[in-house]
Every structure is written in structure tokens, then in C-alpha cells.
Structure 1
Amino acid sequence: MRTPRKAAALLAACALALALAGCSGSGGKDSEDTGKNEDGGGGKTVTTKRLKIAMVTHSGEGDTFWDIVQSGAEQAASKDNVEFLYAANKEGKEQAQHIESYIDKKVDGIVVTLAKPEAVAAAVKKAVAAGIPVVTINSGGEHSKATGALSHIGQEESVAGEAVGEELNKRGKKKALCVIHEQGNVSLEARCAGVKKTFEGTVENLNIEGTNMPASTSSIEAKLESGKDIDTVVTLGAPFAAATVKAKTGAGSDAEVNTFDLNAEVVKQLKAKEIGFAVDQQPYLQGYLAVDELWLYATNGNVLGGGRPVLTGPAVVTGKDVPALEKYTARGTR
């Protein structure tokens, strides 16, 4: 894997080492909110006071990326003797309502995404004012500090987009279609802007209805049919890479499909050369470190990152990286 910023990987690795140093084994009981049971096997949970930590994300229905984030969060919760609660909604207003409900429940910490900061920031500030520590993950990192959050864990979206633009230049591409599957999501817009900043060709954005996969596929297919000069499509989430591969066939297009994010299906598509490359931001690590940080803060006053974002990506993944990754994607942790 080629990491555009070695410091990002080093910082994430150091953060994980710090988190793991303060605890033992795994086990414990998961929250009934998730309906899942993650057991890393062996050992016992920590003996610290049982905490209740909630996560609120902007996940749309059926987005496998957030399954991986939750998997990491649940593993850390099991190890840290934490009851883990989860809620999601693609609309910022509903996200804010979920945060408010967790404030009322007096949880010990909240993990939240800032995809739509204008709708969510006030609720985050309210949580902080109520004495509930908050860690932001994945999106809206540039807005995290202003909300009073302890830190932000994720990738710098503009930097990730710039890495994609540079990779497209290496591949000799001339016209890119950047597919935005959630309008108003500041992180997705930053990715496409980053691509446009470094790509020497032209970039056109296409907004699709991400929660309606058949409609999304049709929109991409129609665009490829009318734009025969499009030689690459960049999707901003793993599920939309598969939709684009299907749309490309329907449109009779030769465009190379590339994507942000990684899952088992994307790894299969990389192996089959249906996708050129993917950008991995390690969602499992985002969920794991967020819960672990809140536990560390509650039990030892630790804050990761020293006031700066804890970067979990980006890393450009190609077919040659598949042998090292597929055992992890098969079990749903990458």
C-alpha cells in the first residue's frame, strides 16, 4: 500500500499502541442497542467502572462501511467494560435528536460524525456543556475543535482526494466523474474538491440518491452513456463501486472504476481487476480508537492526538495488496 502521508499511519499506530497499553484481553457484554456480540477471544475485561458510550453517525441504510466502524467500536467496548449504544440517520436534524436523547440518558461519552456540522454542532456543544466528553470521527474534522470535542479520528478528506487525483495522473486519465452519494455531506464534497485540486484532467461531479441503489446505478449509467469521454469514475463509498461496475457494463463504457473505502466486495473487485484502486481510511480503527479514547479519558485522563486529528488514512490500495488484506476484509474488520 502506498500512503501519501507516512505520518498519518505512524500517528494512528502510536494511538492504537497507547490504547492497547492501558487494558487487557476481551470479553464482556454488548449493548442491546446493537444486537451484536463481538468477542475478540481470550482474557477478561478490565476491572474499571462500567461505562456507557454512545455513537451517532450519518450512515444511510445498507452502508457496509458503518458495519465495520461499529465492529471496531464494539470490540473496544467489550474489552473496556463499556455498554455500547448506536444510532444513525443520514439527516443532520435526526442525528442531533439522537445526540440529545443520549444526553438525557446521561451517557459517559459520545462518538459522533460531523458530516453536516451546521445541523449537529449545537447538540455536540450541549453534550460537552453537560459534562459528557465527545470524540468526533470520520467526517467534518475541521469543525471538531469548535464543538469542544476532545479530538477527531479519521482521514483528512481533502488530502485523500488529492491522493486520488495524483494516482489518476499516474494512470494517464483525462476526465473523471466524481460520484457524490449524499448531498450536503461536507466530507464527500471535500473529497471531490481534493481530486480536482491535483488531477491534471477535468473533474465533473454527479449527485446521486445514495439510499436508492437501483436509482443510483441508473444515474451513473446514464451519465456514462452521454459522456463517452469519461475515462474514470471515482465513487466515494465501497457500495457505489459495485453499482458503477454494473452501470459501466450497461453503458458500454471503458471507464476505469476507482473508489474510496474498502470492504470484502471491493477486494474481490480489485482481484478481478474490475476496480483500479481503492482508498482505505481504516473504519474499524476509527470505531475502536474512539471508544478506547473515551474509556482512557474517563479512567486515566488521556486524550489522543495532542489537539491534532488522529489520522487513520488515506492509503491507496491496489490489486497487489489483496493477498495481505483479504483475510481481514473476509471477517469484516477492514
Structure 2
Amino acid sequence: MRKSLRLLALLAVMALFAAACSSDDASDSADATEPAAAETTQAASDATEVMLTQSDCDNTYHVITHGDSGTFWSVVEVAVRDAAEATGCEVVYFGANNDAQAQSQAIEGAIADGSAGIAISLADPTGLEAAARAVVAAGIPLYTLNSGVNQYKDLGGVTHIGQTEVVAGNGAGERFNALGASHVLCARQEQSNVGLDERCQGLAETFNGQVTSEFIGLDATPDEQQATIAALLTADSSIDGVLGTGPNVPLRALDAASDAGRTLIIGGFDLSGDLISAIEAGDIAFTVDQQQYLQGYLPVILMHLQATNQNTAGGGLPILTGPGFVTPDNAAEVAALVDAGTR
């Protein structure tokens, strides 16, 4: 399945290159909902793989994530493409759409292909542990990005590029304290992503009031998200704040609050044009910015430096890309960069 995906993606990219003669072409990717265990085969076919090919380098690097083609991961993919152009190397990007089996198969394929460096996200550490250890056993440098800050050392990774999710959640909790909330719903858009659990954990550590953590549906099902949040608000009138653990959930919370006739303090994680607009308008209080462009760009650069110049970075510690915060005070400056696809 992976080879078929790779061939299809490569043919698509070659067609784009022939039409435009540019390495800035957008990649083909597929939107799909998170599969149940019985739907793993179908989920694998919904994954995204893009071959980003340059001609000035003999090495091939792989960036293999659990991501989809949505708002967040599209920026990561842009960054990977930019890093491929900067290094002049071939880089394969694969987004598994939250399917650990498909992600593991892609990692195994990268090992078989003789990759010079493999960067992976570890949203499901248990599901990916065997494949991650196989990278190191094969003598290939392993990097983690986005999720995996607590696991990369044990797995033998060189470093992690991302934010410490608990610390990011801590910062969100402090902001809800300052804004006067008393009961915050931590609304998660994925069930098996340990990073989202850690965001809610961090919120609970610093928030002075009550925290309720709930899975409210996938980003691919926005109506379900909105309806689930509205139902939770109706069932518990004490909820006066919502922290969405992604960039789309805060917007669904805003609509759900309107449906339920409630006024809420709403915060989020990550960036999108619509979210920034809502922050500028004062409808959403803040979002946590983990700068995902860096999470796509830096692993490729670091893998290339290690392969060609024996450089390593981090000193055994993670390389943090966040958290930062976007509020009404700085939303306008960030908005233009979001529109450009780099934030």
C-alpha cells in the first residue's frame, strides 16, 4: 500500500513540476476522518505522502507524521518543502491521518529505502515504538517532532522539535485564571493523541477552578464537534470557559455557545485564519502558538547537517518551538503570516 501511495504521490508531483517548473507547488493530500480499528486498511489509503525532490544532494530524508491535510499540518508540509529546497535534497513527507499502523508502515518503508534521516511525530507512542526503535537499530538518525518530547530519549532519538505540551497547558491555565473563568471544558479533537491529553493535564495543574476533559469529535466532523460542545454546555451550566486543543475547536465552541445561549471565555491551540480573525474581533481570548513551521523545517535541516557535517543540536534536550500566545494585542501581525501559509 505504501509503495502505491508513494508512486501516486510522485506522479502527481512530477506532473505539477512539469506544468510549473517550480518546487513551490502545493502537495496532494487527502482529508479523512480518524478510522476505527476495523477500518485501518481504508485509513492507510487516506494517508498523505509527497515526494519533494531536488537535484543537488544524494541523500533522502523522511518526515513521517500522524498529520492530516488540515490547517495545522499543511503549514508543516510547506516547511518541509522549503527545507528540501534549502538543502537541495530529496525529502519524502508522509501524513498518516492519525493511523499508527499506516505511520509505522511508512517508517519501515523509509528504513528499507536507506533513508539518511527519519523524523516522526509520536502522537501514539505505543503504536509507533517498534518502528521507532527499528530506525535506531538500523543506524539511521531518529528525530521526533510535534509530539514525543517525553519519549524521544528512551527511543534513542537525537532530539525533539516542538513544545512541551504540559507547559503550554500551564500557560493556558494561567490565562483562564486571569480572565476569571471558574470551570473550563478542555475539548479534544483526537482520542489517542497523548499531546492533547498533556495540554489538558497542564491546564488542570495551574487553573484554579474545575477542568473537564472530553473528546468532542474529529476536526473532519465540525458539526459533530459543535453539537457535542453544545450538549456539554447544556448539561452543565457551570462551564464558563472552553479550551480547544487545536485551531478548529475554539471556533466550534464559539458556535456552540451561541446555540446554547451562553457567553464563554474561549482559548485554543495553534493557528488558522478564521481563528486569528475571531481573536482580532475579541470573540476568542487567545490561542497557544507552537510555531509548526519550525517543526517541519528544522528536522530536515538538522538531519542534513548531521548526515553531511556530523552536527547535532539540542545537547540531549528538546528544541522548543513554543509556547507563544496570540491575543488581540498581536493578532494583526500574525494574521498576514497565516494568510501566507507559514504560521
Superposition TM-score tier, normalisation by shorter sequence: 0.7 to 0.9
2 CA distance for matches of 1:33 and 1:297?
30
Q: Which residue of 2 aligns with 1:187?
A: 195
Q: Which residue of 2 aligns with 1:97?
A: 105
Unpaired segments ≥5 residues, structure 2: 1-8, 17-21, 26-52
Of 270-279 and 239-248, the range deviating more from structure 2: 239-248
Distance 1:87 1:47, change over 3 A: closer
Find 1:32's aligned residue among 4, 10, 18.
Answer: 10
Find 2:306's aligned residue among 297, 301, 305.
Answer: 297
2 CA distance for matches of 1:34 and 1:197?
47
Larger relative contact order, structure 1 or 2 (CA cutoff 8 Å, min sep 6): 1
Find 2:325's aligned residue among 308, 316, 323.
Answer: 316
Unpaired segments ≥5 residues, structure 1: 1-30
- CA drift of 1:273 comes to 1.4
CA contact (8 A) 1:134 1:149 kept: yes
- CA drift of 1:242 comes to 1.8
Q: Secondary structure at the match of 2:308?
A: helix
1 CA distance for matches of 2:252 and 2:85?
35
Q: Secondary structure at the match of 1:101?
A: helix
Query: Map of 1:206-245 to 2, 5 A cutoff?
Result: 206-210=214-218, 211-245=220-254
Q: Secondary structure at the match of 1:238?
A: coil
2 CA distance for matches of 1:257 and 1:309?
29
2 CA distance for matches of 1:33 and 1:101?
18
Q: Which residue of 2 aligns with 1:146?
A: 154
Q: Which residue of 2 aligns with 1:173?
A: 181
1 CA distance for matches of 2:248 and 2:229?
13
CA contact (8 A) 1:33 1:85 kept: no
1 CA distance for matches of 2:63 and 2:11?
11
1 CA distance for matches of 2:282 and 2:78?
28
CA contact (8 A) 1:69 1:283 kept: yes
Query: Map of 1:104-119 to 2, 5 A cutoff?
Result: 104-119=112-127
Percent identity (aligned): 36
Query: Map of 1:210-289 to 2, 5 A cutoff?
Result: 210=218, 211-289=220-298
Q: Which residue of 1 aligns with 2:334?
A: 325
CA contact (8 A) 2:247 2:268 kept: yes
Distance 1:50 1:185, change over 3 A: same
Find 1:80's aligned residue among 81, 87, 102.
Answer: 87
Structure 1 residues 250-278: Cα deviation after superposition (integer angstroms, max 9, x where no partner): 11111122101112221111111121100
Q: Is 1:63 matched up with 2:41?
A: no
CA contact (8 A) 1:46 1:79 kept: no
- CA drift of 1:102 comes to 1.4
- CA drift of 1:122 comes to 1.2
- CA drift of 1:46 comes to 10
CA contact (8 A) 2:84 2:300 kept: yes
Q: Secondary structure at the match of 2:151?
A: helix
Distance 1:110 1:175, change over 3 A: same
1 CA distance for matches of 2:112 and 2:71?
29
1 CA distance for matches of 2:240 and 2:181?
6
- Between the two proteins, the alignment pairs up a number of residues equal to 299
